[in-house]
Amino acid sequence: MTRENAPGMRDRAARRRARLRRGGRRRAYRCGVATLRVLGVDPGLTRCGIGVVDVAADRSARLVHVGVIRTDAGTPIEHRLAALAAGLREVVRAHGPAVVAVERVFAQHNRQTVMGTAQASGIALLVAGEAGLPAATHTPTEVKAAVTGYGAADKRQVQTMVARVLRLDELPQPADAADALALALCHAWRRGPASTSVAAGALTPAQQRWADAERLARR
């Protein structure tokens, strides 16, 4: 009997999927220390950056997943949005984040570009809502300042700092993926409203462990 066909393996996998469906969140630990798992989304229709990180109360972080969801510019908009939603749902299902951080749409000279970004951002927030996950938005300036200490940092500087924080051997590529990781780090470090300023009784288990760990770290 092969490993993937063993009944016990199937039962454990089914229980794991059921837990993720019920809570939509994975209990994240690293070396026995509670961490906050954040899904960062750099919204875009052609390329949507995705990054999942575990961040501890001491601001150390570990890469969980990084990637890009792509859609063809020649495909009807409704199909592109459906494909983006499906990709995001799969990331949530597979990695069980506790919170979703999305880049806040800001004014651009290219009206078509900002419209696509806004649509992708809406899809990301929708998927978070469907999964019962809190969500927050952060501006590019907030993200750059949080990760590099400089609100006008360029793409290369952001990639370099993300690689350093996550102890990666190479710079995360493409830039959309690096931006998504930076968003996730920014949210955890800035203690965004969706993750920590919620009343204690409304915190998810992962968020409560994060808050408890932060209190211990400040002692």
Q: What is the structure's pLDDT at 113? A: 77
pLDDT in tens, 10-46: 454 444 444 444 444 444 555 556 899 999 999 999 9
pLDDT in tens, 86-120: 999 999 999 999 999 999 987 556 677 788 899 99
Let me know: does 101 contact 136? Beta carbons within 8 Å. Answer: yes
Average pLDDT (126-152) is 95
**Spatial CA neighbour of 193 closest among 139, 140, 138:** 138
Residue 194 within a domain: yes
What gap in Å lies between CA 143 and CA 132, rounded to an integer?
Answer: 24
Residue 11 within a domain: no
Token pair for residue 219? Answer: 């002692």
Residue partners of 70: CB distance under 8 A and separation at least 6? 46, 47, 48
Q: What is the structure's pLDDT at 211? A: 56
Residue 15 within a domain: no
Residue 175 within a domain: yes
Residue 143 within a domain: yes
pLDDT in tens, 157-201: 999 999 999 999 999 999 999 999 999 999 999 864 444 433 334
Residue 40 within a domain: yes
- Tell me how many domains the chain contains: 1
Let me know: does 93 contact 132? Beta carbons within 8 Å. Answer: no
Residue 8 within a domain: no
Average pLDDT (45-64) is 96
The residues assigned a catalytic role are 42, 103, 176
Residue 4 within a domain: no
Domain range for 133 is 35-218
Kindly report the CATH number assigned to the domain that includes residue 70.
3.30.420.10
